[in-house]
């Protein structure tokens, strides 16, 4: 059960994050995040509909639901990859910024030491 929860919750969270970021660019982040959640829930429940429709001898509707489920899975996968890539990019940018700040602190520290030594000499 815990693995099933993580199997569905992690991609859902990444899809919601991706849709939220798209929504921020469009001006409606909450609406887009809810749409991402809805699409991810539809992706998770589609196999049940496929099996139900197949058992009811509704072959054409079952095939349509199968294609829909596969399409939603591909969209969710793409959104997850995009969300992970943006997270990695943000992490790299933060790392570069941290390194710059750390370098500046080291330079200032060295300058303070030089100024103290100069003050002692005078």
Structure tokens, 102: 């750390």
Total number of domains constituting the chain: 1
- The per-residue pLDDT for 66 is 92
CA distances from 41 to 34, 91, 106 (A): 10, 29, 51
Asked whether residue 80 is assigned to any structural domain, the reply reads yes
pTM above 0.85, yes or no: no
> What is the residue-wise DSSP string for 32-75?
HHHHHHHHHHHHHHHHHHHHHHHHTT-HHHHHHHHHHHHHHHHH
Residue-number span of the structural domain to which 57 is assigned: 2-92
Low-confidence ranges of the chain (pLDDT < 50): none
- The per-residue pLDDT for 34 is 92
Asked whether residue 100 is assigned to any structural domain, the reply reads no
């Amino acid at each position: 059960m815990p693995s099933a929860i993580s199997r569905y919750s992690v991609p859902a969270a990444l899809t919601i994050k991706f849709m939220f970021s798209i929504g921020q660019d469009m001006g409606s982040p909450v609406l887009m995040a809810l749409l991402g959640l809805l699409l991810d829930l539809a992706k998770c429940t589609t196999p049940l509909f496929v099996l139900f429709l197949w058992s009811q001898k509704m072959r054409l509707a079952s095939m349509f639901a199968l294609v829909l489920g596969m399409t939603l899975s591909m969209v969710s996968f793409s959104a997850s990859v995009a969300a992970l890539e943006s997270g990695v990019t943000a992490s790299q940018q933060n790392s570069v910024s941290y390194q710059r700040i750390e370098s500046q602190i080291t330079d200032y520290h060295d300058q303070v030491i030089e100024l103290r030594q100069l003050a002692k000499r005078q």
